[in-house]
Structure 1
Amino acid sequence: MDHWAVLGLEPGADAESLKQAFRRQARRWHPDLNGNDPAAEERFKKINEAYEVLSDPRRRQAWEAGGTSQAGHRDPFASGFPDFHDYVDQLFSRRRERRPATTPPPPPPPVQAHDDLETAVSLTPEQALDGTFVEVQLSDGITVEVQTPPEAGDGWRLRLEGVAPGGRDHFLQLQVRTDEGLRVDGLRVLYRLDLPAPDGALGSSAVVPTLEGPVRLRIPPGTSSGRLLRLRGKGLERDGRRGDQIVEVRLVVPDPLAEDEEALYKRLQELLRE
């Protein structure tokens, strides 16, 4: 049995991807959630075995070497299937005990919520594209696990209904940004370009960052502040669809103006009045 294929992963996927894939598949095929369908029971057993093998370095090594992954293995569901949430909690708790203390925590890290009932959660573009699990620790010590939706965007607010103390709602504000100032919104990438006013009036070119590296963008003459320029195909790609990058131009004036700059602006002001 191809354990990677059972979990819908490419061979060699990292531990966090393995964990997320197992959660998705186990939730989908757990017998309690499928009316005790015999096909679901068999599929769930295969999913459990795949995770047990791939998350255990020794069993995984034996399986990849062409040997059996069943050594010393017994059917853990011979007496029935446990509650889904209890089963997942117990399984991952056992896995955490087996891991060395030096294993780095999976991204993104748990976020401490504040009394304003809103928590900012930073995601990478890749996490926002496919969705990821986020653990949020509420002010009363309860930890809530949330899966963000695929193709989430910067500034999205996710409502967690009734999880805060007193039955109040809690909100997650997603931040999907890069160090270069790119903002992700679904498949689109947004960027604000500050440009000297003369460059907008006369036209010019500017180097702007993209997810694939910097590119040179032509600024047409007569560009006003707020104009949107499109870089086709420079957004994210998913399921055969690819987004664009939208560049918003913002014209800026030096502050303070140098003496010769101030004289030129005064002359321009006079010409416009005439």
Structure 2
Amino acid sequence: MDYKDYYKILELDKSATKDQIRKQFRKLARQYHPDVNPNDPEAERKFKEVNEAHEVLSDDEKRQKYDQLGADWQRYQQAGGASRGGTGGGFDWSQYAQGGGQGYGGFGGSTGDDPFGGADFSDFFSSMFGGMGGGQGGARPRPGQDYQAELELTLEDAYQGGPRTLTINDKKLRVTIHPGVEDGQTIRLRDQGGPGRNGGPAGSLYITLRITPDARYTRTGQDLTLDVPISIYKALLGGEQVVETLSGPVKINIKPETQNGTRLRLRGKGFPVYRKEGQFGDLYLRLALTLPQQLTNQEKELFRQLAALRE
């Protein structure tokens, strides 16, 4: 039977802490979860390996036993892979093997009880840990499955924040969006995932926010850019113009002889800074000259006169 390198499976060093093991497990479990990778046998295989590795390394007793086996495994291989229960080459497999072929806590088969949707544990795992906690009385509490969801917002929604409602597994949830959220940002709702096992806590719900592109504004962090069309007459002669911002209309002054593409900066008129009340980015106005169309004969003559004066 093949040796399972659980540290390599979780992409961790042997010195990894329990907190690092837990975080890496949740990351990889979400990455390879069958719901995220439907009809993908390779992702399903990796998902089961990750679940099995976490089952061992998150438990102090199992981890200690596994680490002890790892130190002796090289001798075991050099002895030609002594059969289970044998002592070839000075390696006594029986001190590690538990027998029974059942998964830990009664979910080694396809029972659907494990917190990430059910996983078949390998013969390697069953040989070492099949007898540990096999009865219901020895089963440890397990957290429930984490759920994933997406919530679509407009730019105005992300600017203003406020309550939103979404439905997960036929259950309506009310979520408060703080102003200034980013596209792709994830928020966590504790205890809104799958139910825990053997008295364990419920999982969490991770909501990824998707902000739809806005036809008017370009967002860069907390700064916004807005194209503002102005007439050629106002660009030449100057004047006032009202600009609609996300916080309401603002009156700006156009200087005489303003060039096309000129940028103006409105401090504090950009996007809210996330979770920092009263702080905002800036709004940059990019002035775009618009040319008159369908000129009358009189207008054309006036432009000819102006052109002649500039020659």
Q: TM-score under structure 2 normalisation?
A: 0.38
**TM-score normalized by the length of structure 1:** 0.42
